[in-house]
Amino acid sequence: MDERFFFHALKVNEDICIGCSHCMNACPTEAIRIWNGKANIDDNLCVDCGECERVCPVKAIYVEDNSFDDIYKFKYRVALIPSVFVGQFPENIKASQVYSVMHQIGFTHVYELERAVGVLNDAILEYQDKEGNELPIISSFCPAIVRLVQVKYPSLVDNILKLVTPSDFAAAFYKKKLIDEGIPEEDIGLFYITPCAAKIAAIKSPVGAKKSLVDGVINLNKLFNKVYREIKNGNTNSSIIPEPTVTHAYKLRWSLTHGEASRVKGRTIAVDGIANVMEFLEIIENEEVSGIDYLECRACKEGCAGGILNKENRFLVVERLKKRIERNSEKKRKIISSGIAKYKSYLEKEMKVGEIEPRSMMMLDTDMHTAMLKMEESERIQHRLPGIDCGACGAPTCRALSEDIVKGDATLSHCVFVQKVLMKKGEINMDTAFSIIDKIWGEKIVRGTIIKRKK
């Protein structure tokens, strides 16, 4: 499959990568192979969940995002921040301080995107009332999960909620609001502050839409460091009056585990952590459980608080958000509307998602008949392999290697156990076997010196 299905935010720095295979073994969709001693990510299989980045011991896997300086391409610069961004800061730092510094460093407007959740929540409840929905409805909130369903559970794509995420609702609202205030559309730049790689990929290459309204995506960790440094140095301009920071408790919880599930109808299940999500989707796909109306899935544990681009520990972020909610409640702080309610009909009409196509990772050819023949051949090859999933071939499992073989990306001799059999039969010699291993794992490096094998 030569077609590139998705934009991907996760990249490999080959100058740093040591080919340790940690990422290959951690990848839930088996998207990573080791070749020439380096990790290679298959664009067709990757869902940008970030599990590879979490386990890389040398930080060779990184996230490609927009430069902060990109905001200056626009006269009006809007920061769309998730509540977990505010949750990165110590409790003695108020949300209003964070907002103020955001203005100081270059943004003209700051909007906490969870403030748009009310309109989305109403749209979800209306969606649930429609007849003909495939149950359970699978939340479209987490883009890594949407892509996971596309590539690994294609039979469930019709279950995905056909509504956009809070960031898209927030972007649509704020752009329309500024345009209505007389600001030219070309002068408005919308920048999402992301806690994960999947949201970058979703904005650069949206599923069910041609183009995102968001103009750029900024790494949450990098922006946190920029803002926190200014606050610690006392560079806070008290004359700046930022947007309101107080909103409903359920909105602040939305991106956390159970935040969405607690606000929809019927029997709901909330699952976090991509391995747990995959286990549960298997149950759904195999029809081992019934009667579930809504399924909230988050690739990261604790929801967006566990995103790979967060600075702080996910449990502390959750605790801080809960305390922020408690403070607002105890002091009975007034919730000032951002004006989104009057745009409700516009947003519900504009923010529906188009058809979501299945993109099965098992598709071995674009022609169905040829694909079936290749699948049969793959199964035959798999039966000839040892089945111990050692990873020495540069693929995570024997099944993955068999698929690589029928796609022309590998040969049976990549398996070290098959190599041994072929050597006994005299079909290959030791030098050939070493050559195959070198192509997979690269030349051996000892104390900075490349060790060449003797011919």
Q: Is residue 358 part of a domain?
A: no
197/271 same-domain check? yes
Q: Is residue 369 part of a domain?
A: yes
371/250 same-domain check? no
8/97 same-domain check? no
Residue 363's pLDDT is: 60
In contact, 394 and 40? CB cutoff 8 Å? no
Other residues' Cβ atoms within 10 Å of the Cβ of residue 13: 14
The four Cα atoms 51, 57, 61, 65 give a dihedral, to 10 degrees, of 90
Range of the domain at 320: 68-350
440/305 same-domain check? no
244/326 same-domain check? yes
Q: Which of 350, 375, 400 is the last residue of a domain?
A: 350
Q: How far apart, in whole angstroms, are the C-alpha atoms of residue 197 and residue 403?
A: 27
Q: Which residue has the tokens 């029928």?
A: 406
Q: How many CA atoms lie less than 13 Å away from 410 in the CB half-sphere?
A: 26
281/337 same-domain check? yes
37/165 same-domain check? no
Q: How far apart, in whole angstroms, are the C-alpha atoms of residue 441 and residue 435?
A: 10
Residues forming beta bridges with residue 193, ordered by sequence position = 218
Residue 366's pLDDT is: 64
Q: Is residue 417 part of a domain?
A: yes
265/211 same-domain check? yes
Q: How far apart, in whole angstroms, are the C-alpha atoms of residue 357 and residue 48?
A: 18
What phi and psi, each to the nearest 5 degrees, are found at residue 12?
A: -115, 125
Contacts of 260 (CB under 8 A, 6+ apart): 139, 141, 254, 270, 296
141/244 same-domain check? yes
Residue 348's pLDDT is: 80
Single pTM value for the model: 0.88
In contact, 40 and 440? CB cutoff 8 Å? no
Q: Let me know if 211 is exposed, middle or buried by CB neighbors in 10 A (0-12, 13-18, 19+).
A: exposed
Residue type at position 137: I
Q: Is residue 282 part of a domain?
A: yes
Of 387, 370, 378, which Cα lies nearest the Cα of 406?
Answer: 378
Of 26, 66, 17, which Cα lies nearest the Cα of 50?
Answer: 26
Q: Which residue has the tokens 């970030």?
A: 50
The CATH number for 390's domain is 1.10.15.40
83/230 same-domain check? yes
Residue 451's pLDDT is: 47
Q: How far apart, in whole angstroms, are the C-alpha atoms of residue 185 and residue 288?
A: 50
Q: How far apart, in whole angstroms, are the C-alpha atoms of residue 88 and residue 229?
A: 13
Q: Which of 49, 64, 79 is the last residue of a domain?
A: 64
What phi and psi, each to the nearest 5 degrees, are found at residue 118?
A: -60, -45
Q: Which of 320, 350, 380 is the last residue of a domain?
A: 350
Q: Let me know if 126 is exposed, middle or buried by CB neighbors in 10 A (0-12, 13-18, 19+).
A: exposed
Q: Let me know if 135 is exposed, middle or buried by CB neighbors in 10 A (0-12, 13-18, 19+).
A: middle
Q: Which residue has the tokens 């949300």?
A: 95
Q: Is residue 437 part of a domain?
A: yes
Residue 398's pLDDT is: 94
- What's the domain count of the chain? 3
Q: How far apart, in whole angstroms, are the C-alpha atoms of residue 135 and residue 284?
A: 10
DSSP string, 390-422: --TTSSSSHHHHHHHHHTTS--GGGSHHHHHHH
The four Cα atoms 117, 118, 119, 120 give a dihedral, to 10 degrees, of 40
Q: Is residue 357 part of a domain?
A: no
184/48 same-domain check? no
- State the Cα angle at 145 between 149 and 11, rounded to 5°: 105
Give me the long-range contacts of 68-72 (CB less than 8 A, separation at least 24).
68/106, 68/218, 68/222, 68/223, 68/226, 70/189, 70/191, 70/215, 70/216, 71/106, 71/107, 71/189, 71/191, 71/216, 71/218, 72/106
Q: Is residue 104 part of a domain?
A: yes
433/372 same-domain check? yes
Q: Is residue 355 part of a domain?
A: no
Residue 442's pLDDT is: 85
Q: What is the pLDDT along the chain (455 residues), one digit of tens a residue?
A: 344 456 889 999 999 999 999 999 999 999 999 999 999 999 888 999 999 999 999 999 999 988 999 999 999 999 999 999 999 999 999 888 899 999 999 999 999 999 989 989 999 999 999 988 999 999 999 999 999 999 899 999 999 999 988 888 899 999 999 999 999 999 999 999 999 999 998 888 887 777 888 999 999 999 999 999 999 988 776 556 566 777 888 999 999 999 999 999 999 999 999 999 999 999 999 999 999 999 999 999 999 999 999 999 999 999 999 999 988 887 667 777 778 888 888 888 878 888 888 876 556 666 677 778 888 898 999 988 999 999 999 999 999 999 999 988 999 999 999 988 888 888 888 888 888 888 888 875 433 444 444 44
